[in-house]
A and B are shown apart, each in its own frame.
Chain A
């Protein structure tokens, strides 16, 4: 039986794809070729991407901070708490971890009564949208950071608490002076993961038009006649994301070693 004509349009083997790519003239939509003039275009507009980088960094820092402020107590409650408080905290955590971040951000953007007033100066971001992004990224991060801290507290070992109680320390005092100092050190590797995830996920704010790095990049290559620069622009912002994650992770590695307990391995 003869093949159906439509199916014939799909290349039968990978070799033919290569042949097509190398020998036939490129369709105008294909902008994969790196060109000097496109790199020059990126260089000319560096400040445009720098602004996006600033928004990305600001979004990451505020979301992580919110995540820490809520996640640290939440992890403590999940480990030590009981009754309704613990049930509420762990249920909210399950919900936040089980919902895709794009769904959260869209849900918050349209489902929360945040007044649409004001813009963040210089960055030209609408304040309400910025709050939505921080709230979605921050709450989701809190749910994950809570697990990082809960696990770190659990790893400290019951004997430490027993020894502290045995000299007459209250449970609060034992948590503060014996368990937390050890748990915080042990949570650094988990926190590194969380940092990397939040930084990269700020690109989700693209969905509500915040001028973070990916949004700025998109605005750049969508300028009239600049669609050929898409690869150059995206490669550039990839490099920026990489430098940010790599640099910060190295710094946290350093902290991990600097604060390691002598005689014990770091991490």
Chain B
């Protein structure tokens, strides 16, 4: 059974159609990369999956269960999210960012939460920054805390919303390498990103979204080498110029 199944999802903001008839499915361990021009509905799609935004029509199933019949907090506990702007809790240390969900949502004891947080922080290479506050960290470090925060909840799926778009170019690599390790380790990941190198090397499926519709979807090498649609070819051409494809 698919871990995630999105069926005929529609979403509009007022008169503006943002998602139209979007359907796809992911198996456990899949790494799906979604690309598309800005305003194509990529972020909205992610937000529909953890219900930070509600769909107008269509169904989304997580492990066979329709998410709108689930408690939203239960859903979000099972589906992690990493934000473009990090959104670290500004008043808490790196460790405190990770422990909050553990103690408040999972009901874990302080001590256990602390140990688990330190474990996940060291997995993303931040063992020495556990006591630092967000304002004391670089962008790349902040985003790695964001990843540790999502990971520590032991989610079935993690949504990445342009995780490297707010980073200085020299900091992109450290975040991508953490993401590549996760992919390698079998984590199910749905990533909106423009990093074509990551898409080529880590993605099991590449989806091109434009104007709220899925234009083309398939193994990344197919889309890179033999795109069926002109729009895909044109977009990938522009993207590869900027972000590098090899």
Contacts and interface: CB of A to CB of B under 8 A. Distances in A.
- Residue in B50, B52, B76 whose Cβ sees the most chain A Cβ within 10 Å: B76
Contact of A173 (B104, B133, B134, B150): B104
A159 B132 CA distance: 20
Interface in A138-194: 159-160, 162-170, 173, 177-178, 181-182, 185
B242 interface: no
Interface residues of B, number: 28
Nearest to A176: B104
Contacts of B133: 261-264
A162 B74 CA distance: 15
Given A163-B87, A166-B81, A181-B91, A263 B136 contact: yes
A162 B81 CA distance: 10
A177 B132 CA distance: 19
B89 interface: yes
Nearest to B135: A263
A67 B20 CA distance: 51
Contacts of B153: 167-168
- Residue in B77, B85, B101, B135 whose Cβ sees the most chain A Cβ within 10 Å: B101
Interface in A116-149: none
Nearest to B89: A178
A261 B94 CA distance: 13
A185 B91 CA distance: 10
B136 A168 contact: no
Q: Give the interface size bracket for A toward B.
A: 20 to 34
Interface string B56-93: 00000000000000000111110011010101111100
Contacts of B5: none
B91 A167 contact: no
Interface string A236-267: 00000000000000000000000001111000
Given A160-B90, A162-B52, A262-B136, A168 B73 contact: yes
A261 B136 CA distance: 10
A159 B77 contact: no
B194 interface: no
B134 A168 contact: no
Contacts of B10: none
Contacts of A262: 132-133, 135-136
Contact of A166 (B50, B104, B134): B50
Contacts of A263: 132-136
B89 A164 contact: yes
Given A164-B100, A168-B101, 4 more contacts: A162-B52, A162-B87, A163-B88, A169-B101
Interface of A: 159-160, 162-170, 173, 177-178, 181-182, 185, 261-264
Q: Which 9 A-B pairs have the closest CB atoms?
A: A263-B135, A167-B101, A168-B77, A163-B87, A159-B87, A263-B136, A168-B76, A166-B81, A168-B105
Interface of B: 50, 52, 73-77, 80-81, 83, 85, 87-91, 100-101, 104-105, 132-136, 149-150, 153
